[in-house]
């Protein structure tokens, strides 16, 4: 592998004279396990061709002042813990939605409303999100919710797309590291499928390090999307990485890279094949309905066992051997295939979904009979996306390329026909993980734009010190040839994104006063006898002081209130402005308190009045010519 010749951009693209291949030294690291990969030319670059391409690209992605983008993009914020909203093709960042993090501007993680949503997990200030997915009806985005996983603290969050705020967070019990997340597509998103990556002992009470024991396992999890409660869990062999669901509502599938259940790197690469595990959702539902389930380690969630016993399959699962440490799992938008991306094998494996009924009815001698093609694409295939015209686009992490290939031709080649299923290889900069084509997860896949999320940006942007941004590249796939049109720096580390047509997302312009987002606060005010839209009052309840006020540009309803040192103060503000875009804020200086109050929203925050003295509070969102003057004072009297 190490002698494979990779064409590199000219010196202008390689200002520090480092080739990307020597830069990562990947040949040396993975050469042994990747032997047998094909080497295909990637095209060559000249200064002129880059300049010409750049000019053409500019005209494609230019969204002029005042014009709107065609697509919403929702980007995972990786281990930064948030979701970012981008416009595509301009790649302009429109909004950030805090989820598994603390956000100073909106007060997420600080306000009572957000802490209520964070629940038990409010104690965690970190998160690691990977996979944002939009709810569907009949295999098309319905624009209602976006779901995202938190690998770091084993959570799944839901974002309401009408207000672009997180409204539910669930910690999945008895597992570690929720990684893969996908939604049921058909008939609608009843379940969020979220798989846990790491094998742990059960009960995990400190009694053992032993992962080979039969009581050490991980689970595939289904969450009721509407209630955001656990629906069921399935014990599996090996571990689980990424998942997807089919277009019949019957099957979901996950990749497993650690069939070895190994503790060490070498061990996890020991087997030539790991597997894709397929879940039969109706059979699991039927077993649970019939009461044939167990509960695990003090949780009430129904659990079924999807492991093999003495080599015999359970009724719930089938294990399809695929090479080697597979990573991404992607359903083609025609509903025909699950595609497992080989990672340590240069191949992807195409599983025919219409053979899964027969697989579950034990009509095949070898479970690999459901595999209809295993095309060789290049080094380090991680994720595949689709244009709806029969082509697939797979990221090659090690080759730093996206390869476009044709699915039907790959199937013909697998049958022995001489056909070159590879259409094009395009260099990306550098080391791509996920890629995502517009509407690819739905039957609407429209083959217009492809976003490629590169893990390394190296020389593509002005240097920012030892920590580099990632590079989210936009590729035009509307023609026969893929064309790179934009480099977009992104902070830690998007992993994945999703694109929806702008007409598929419908947002509210201002808050509805009956919104459940702040219903608890409204209920508490009611108990205090407060009319939130009109009252400016201080309620004293022992050591607790509840301050209610309105806000209307450029003034708070209360500009002075007095508390005693040691009081726990809750400030509740209702923004009675009805004008779109007039958001106010509330910051109590030197108290760590900050929040957003958008038009018709009620927000509240609680802090300790521990310092005697006069303390100013001010509006933090620029709302009016007299925004600086939108202030008030809290007097804290000595105890
Ligand atoms: S994973 Cu990061 S590149 Cu978490 Cu979807 Cu594949
Ligand atoms: Cu209100 Cu600034
Ligand atoms: Ca393995």
Read off the pLDDT of residues 294-321 as tens digits, 9 standing for 90 and up: 999 899 999 999 999 999 999 999 999 9
Residue 27 φ then ψ, to 5°: -55, -45
Whether the bond between 187 and the residue before it is cis, its omega within 30 degrees of 0, is yes
Other CB atoms within 10 A of residue 522 CB: 17
**Residue closest to 583 by CA, chosen among 507, 509, 505:** 509
| Ligand 1 pocket, mutate which of 133, 496, 497, 498 (most atoms under 8 A from CB) | 496
Residue 179 CA: which ligand 1 atom is closest?
Answer: 4
Q: Which ligand is nearest to the CA of 148?
A: 1
Residue 453 CA: which ligand 1 atom is closest?
Answer: 3
pLDDT of residue 297: 87
Q: Look at the alpha carbons of 622, 628, 630, 631 in this order and tell me if their dihedral is positive or negative.
A: positive
Q: Which ligand is nearest to the CA of 552?
A: 2
pLDDT of residue 57: 75
Across the chain, mean pLDDT equals: 93
- Could you tell me the distance, in angstroms and rounded to a whole number, from the CA of residue 81 to the centre of ligand 2? 28
Lowest mean pLDDT among 16-20, 194-198, 469-473, 476-480: 16-20
Give the residue-averaged pLDDT of 221-235. Answer: 98
367 three-class SS: helix
**Residue closest to 325 by CA, chosen among 398, 265, 377:** 265
Residue 433 CA: which ligand 1 atom is closest?
Answer: 3
Residue nearest to atom 4 of ligand 1 (CA): 130
**Residue closest to 216 by CA, chosen among 258, 178, 254:** 258
Chain position carrying tokens 């019990």: 173
Share of the chain above pLDDT 70, in %: 92
Model confidence pLDDT, tens digit, residues 119-151: 999 999 999 999 999 999 999 999 999 999 999
Give the residue-averaged pLDDT of 389-395. Answer: 98
Q: Which ligand is nearest to the CA of 630?
A: 2
For 439-490, the DSSP string reads: TTTSTT----EEEEEES--TTSS---SSSPPEEEEEEE-SSSS-EEEEEEEE
Model confidence pLDDT, tens digit, residues 77-87: 999 999 999 99
Cα(327)–Cα(318) distance, integer angstroms: 18
C-beta of 151 in contact with ligand 1 (< 6 A): no
As a 3-state breakdown, the chain gives helix, strand, coil percent values, each rounded to 5, of 15, 40, 45
**Residue closest to 583 by CA, chosen among 566, 563, 597:** 597
- Residue 527 in tokens: 């108990």
**Does the annotation list 481 as a binding residue?**
no
The answer on pLDDT for 49 being more than 50 is yes
Model confidence pLDDT, tens digit, residues 249-289: 999 999 999 999 999 999 999 999 999 999 999 999 999 99
Query: Quick check: 238 and 261 in contact, CB under 8 A?
Result: yes
Lowest mean pLDDT among 35-39, 549-553, 580-584: 35-39
Give the residue-averaged pLDDT of 512-518. Answer: 98
**Does the annotation list 627 as a binding residue?**
yes
Query: Quick check: 616 and 543 in contact, CB under 8 A?
Result: no
C-beta of 382 in contact with ligand 1 (< 6 A): yes
For 54-102, the DSSP string reads: HHHHHHHH---TT---SEEEEEE-GGG-EEEEEEETTTEEEEEEESSS-
- Could you tell me the distance, in angstroms and rounded to a whole number, from the CA of residue 511 to the centre of ligand 2? 17
pLDDT of residue 28: 35
C-beta of 326 in contact with ligand 1 (< 6 A): no
Chain position carrying tokens 């992605």: 61
- Could you tell me the distance, in angstroms and rounded to a whole number, from the CA of residue 315 to the centre of ligand 3? 24
The answer on pLDDT for 7 being more than 70 is no
The answer on pLDDT for 417 being more than 70 is yes
Helix (H) or strand (E) holding 47: helix 47-61
- Could you tell me the distance, in angstroms and rounded to a whole number, from the CA of residue 456 to the centre of ligand 1? 14
pLDDT of residue 55: 77
- Could you tell me the distance, in angstroms and rounded to a whole number, from the CA of residue 259 to the centre of ligand 2? 57
pLDDT of residue 58: 76
**Does the annotation list 268 as a binding residue?**
yes
Q: Which ligand is nearest to the CA of 453?
A: 1
**Residue closest to 571 by CA, chosen among 554, 584, 558:** 558
Residue 619 CA: which ligand 2 atom is closest?
Answer: 2
Query: Quick check: 251 and 280 in contact, CB under 8 A?
Result: yes
Give the residue-averaged pLDDT of 610-629. Answer: 98
**Residue closest to 302 by CA, chosen among 322, 281, 287:** 287
**Residue closest to 79 by CA, chosen among 485, 354, 491:** 491
pLDDT of residue 8: 44
| Chain center to CA of 21 | 29
Chain position carrying tokens 């259409």: 423
DSSP symbol at 248:
S
Residue 382 CA: which ligand 1 atom is closest?
Answer: 6
The answer on pLDDT for 193 being more than 80 is yes
- Could you tell me the distance, in angstroms and rounded to a whole number, from the CA of residue 241 to the centre of ligand 3? 11
Query: Quick check: 546 and 631 in contact, CB under 8 A?
Result: no
Residue 584 CA: which ligand 2 atom is closest?
Answer: 1
Cα(21)–Cα(534) distance, integer angstroms: 66
pLDDT of residue 553: 96
Cα(251)–Cα(244) distance, integer angstroms: 9
Confidence grade of residue 54 (pLDDT, cut at 50, 70, 90):
confident
What's the CATH architecture for 36-65+375-498?
Answer: Beta Barrel (2.40)
Q: Which ligand is nearest to the CA of 323?
A: 3
Give the residue-averaged pLDDT of 617-636. Answer: 98
Other CB atoms within 10 A of residue 483 CB: 16
The answer on pLDDT for 6 being more than 50 is no
pLDDT of residue 59: 77
Model confidence pLDDT, tens digit, residues 97-127: 999 999 999 999 999 999 999 999 999 999 9
pLDDT of residue 296: 96
In the chain, domain spans: 36-65+375-498, 518-637
DSSP symbol at 188:
B
Cα(250)–Cα(493) distance, integer angstroms: 33
3-state secondary structure 368-422: HHHEEECCECCCCEEEEEECCCCEEEEEECCCCEEEEEEHHHHHHHHCCCCCCCE
pLDDT of residue 56: 75
**Does the annotation list 133 as a binding residue?**
no
Cα(396)–Cα(21) distance, integer angstroms: 13
Listed residues: CB within 5 A of ion ligand 3 = 268, 271, 274, 325
pLDDT of residue 68: 97
- Could you tell me the distance, in angstroms and rounded to a whole number, from the CA of residue 178 to the centre of ligand 3? 19
pLDDT of residue 14: 39
Confidence grade of residue 509 (pLDDT, cut at 50, 70, 90):
very high
**Does the annotation list 327 as a binding residue?**
yes
The answer on pLDDT for 31 being more than 90 is no
Q: Residue 190: how many CA atoms within 13 Å on its side-chain side?
A: 12
**Does the annotation list 383 as a binding residue?**
yes
Chain position carrying tokens 């459901």: 370
pLDDT of residue 41: 38
Give the residue-averaged pLDDT of 215-219. Answer: 97
Cα(399)–Cα(377) distance, integer angstroms: 10
Share of the chain above pLDDT 90, in %: 90
Residue 397 CA: which ligand 1 atom is closest?
Answer: 3
Query: Quick check: 446 and 424 in contact, CB under 8 A?
Result: no
Confidence grade of residue 5 (pLDDT, cut at 50, 70, 90):
very low
Asked if the 518-637 domain carries CATH number 2.60.40.420, the reply is yes
**Does the annotation list 619 as a binding residue?**
yes
For 353-368, the DSSP string reads: GGGHHHHHTT--SSGG
Cα(437)–Cα(430) distance, integer angstroms: 18
pLDDT of residue 37: 36
Pocket of ligand 2 (CB under 6 A): 553-554, 584, 619, 621-623, 627, 630
Residue nearest to atom 1 of ligand 2 (CA): 584
**Does the annotation list 621 as a binding residue?**
yes
**First-to-final CA distance of the chain:** 74
Other CB atoms within 10 A of residue 58 CB: 11
**Does the annotation list 434 as a binding residue?**
yes
C-beta of 241 in contact with ligand 1 (< 6 A): no
Lowest mean pLDDT among 19-33, 61-75, 209-223: 19-33
Cβ neighbours for 535, distance < 8 A, ≥ 6 positions apart: 548, 550, 557
Cα(242)–Cα(293) distance, integer angstroms: 25
Give the residue-averaged pLDDT of 330-359. Answer: 98
**Does the annotation list 1 as a binding residue?**
no
């Amino acid at each position: 592998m190490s002698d494979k010749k990779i064409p590199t951009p000219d010196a202008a693209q390689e200002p520090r004279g480092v080739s990307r291949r020597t830069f990562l030294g990947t040949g040396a690291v993975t050469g042994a396990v990747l032997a047998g990969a094909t080497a295909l030319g990637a095209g060559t670059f000249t200064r002129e061709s880059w300049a010409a391409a750049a000019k053409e690209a500019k005209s494609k992605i230019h969204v002029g002042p005042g014009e709107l983008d065609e697509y919403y993009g929702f980007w995972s914020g990786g281990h930064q813990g948030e979701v970012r909203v981008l416009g595509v093709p301009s790649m302009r960042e429109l909004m950030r939605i805090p989820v598994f993090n603390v956000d100073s501007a909106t007060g997420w993680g600080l306000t009572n409303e957000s802490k209520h949503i964070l629940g038990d997990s409010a104690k965690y200030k970190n998160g690691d999100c990977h996979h944002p997915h939009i709810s569907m009806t009949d295999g098309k985005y319905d624009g209602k919710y976006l779901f995202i996983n938190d690998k770091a603290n084993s959570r799944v969050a839901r974002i309401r797309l009408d207000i672009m705020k997180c409204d539910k967070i669930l910690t999945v019990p008895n597992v570690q590291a929720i990684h893969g997340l996908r939604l049921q597509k058909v008939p609608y998103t009843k379940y969020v499928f979220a798989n846990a990556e790491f094998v742990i002992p059960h009960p995990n009470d400190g009694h053992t390090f032993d992962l080979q024991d039969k009581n050490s396992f991980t689970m595939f999890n289904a969450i009721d999307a509407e209630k955001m409660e656990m629906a069921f869990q399935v014990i599996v062999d090996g571990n689980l990485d990424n998942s997807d669901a089919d277009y019949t509502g019957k099957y979901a599938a996950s990749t497993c890279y650690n069939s070895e259940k190994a503790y060490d790197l070498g061990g996890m690469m020991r087997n030539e094949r790991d597997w894709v595990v397929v879940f039969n959702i109706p059979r699991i539902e039927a077993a649970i309905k019939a009461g044939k389930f167990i509960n695990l380690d003090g949780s009430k969630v129904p659990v079924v066992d999807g492991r093999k016993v003495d080599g015999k399959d359970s009724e719930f699962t089938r294990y399809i051997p695929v090479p080697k440490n597979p990573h991404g799992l992607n359903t083609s938008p025609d509903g025909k295939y699950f595609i497992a991306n080989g990672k340590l094998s240069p191949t992807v494996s195409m599983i025919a979904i219409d053979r899964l009924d027969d697989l579950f009815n034990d009509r095949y001698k070898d479970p690999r009979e459901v595999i209809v093609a295993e095309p060789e694409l290049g080094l380090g295939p991680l994720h595949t996306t689709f244009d709806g015209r029969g082509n697939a686009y797979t990221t090659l992490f090690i080759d730093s390329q996206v390869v476009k290939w044709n699915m039907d031709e790959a199937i013909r080649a697998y049958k022995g026909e001489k056909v070159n299923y590879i259409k094009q290889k395009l260099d990306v900069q550098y080391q791509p993980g996920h890629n995502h084509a517009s509407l690819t997860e739905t039957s609407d896949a429209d083959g217009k734009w492809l976003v490629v999320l590169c893990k390394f940006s190296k020389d593509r942007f002005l240097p920012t010190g030892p920590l580099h941004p990632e590079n989210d590249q936009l590729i035009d796939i509307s023609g026969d040839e893929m064309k790179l049109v934009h480099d977009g720096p992104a902070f830690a580390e998007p992993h994945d994104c999703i694109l929806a047509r702008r007409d598929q997302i419908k947002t509210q312009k201002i808050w509805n006063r009956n919104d459940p987002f702040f219903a608890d606060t409204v209920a508490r005010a009611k108990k205090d006898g407060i009319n939130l839209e009109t009252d400016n009052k201080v309620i004293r309840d022992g050591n607790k002081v509840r301050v209610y006020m309105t806000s209307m540009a450029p003034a708070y309803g209360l500009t002075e209130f007095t508390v005693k040192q040691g009081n726990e103060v809750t400030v509740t503000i209702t923004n009675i402005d009805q004008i779109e875009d007039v958001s106010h804020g509330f910051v109590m200086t030197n108290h760590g308190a900050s929040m957003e109050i958008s038009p018709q929203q009620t927000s509240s925050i609680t802090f300790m009045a521990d310092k005697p003295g006069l303390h100013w509070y001010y509006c933090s969102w620029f709302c009016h010519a007299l925004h600086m003057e939108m202030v008030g004072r809290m007097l804290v009297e000595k105890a």
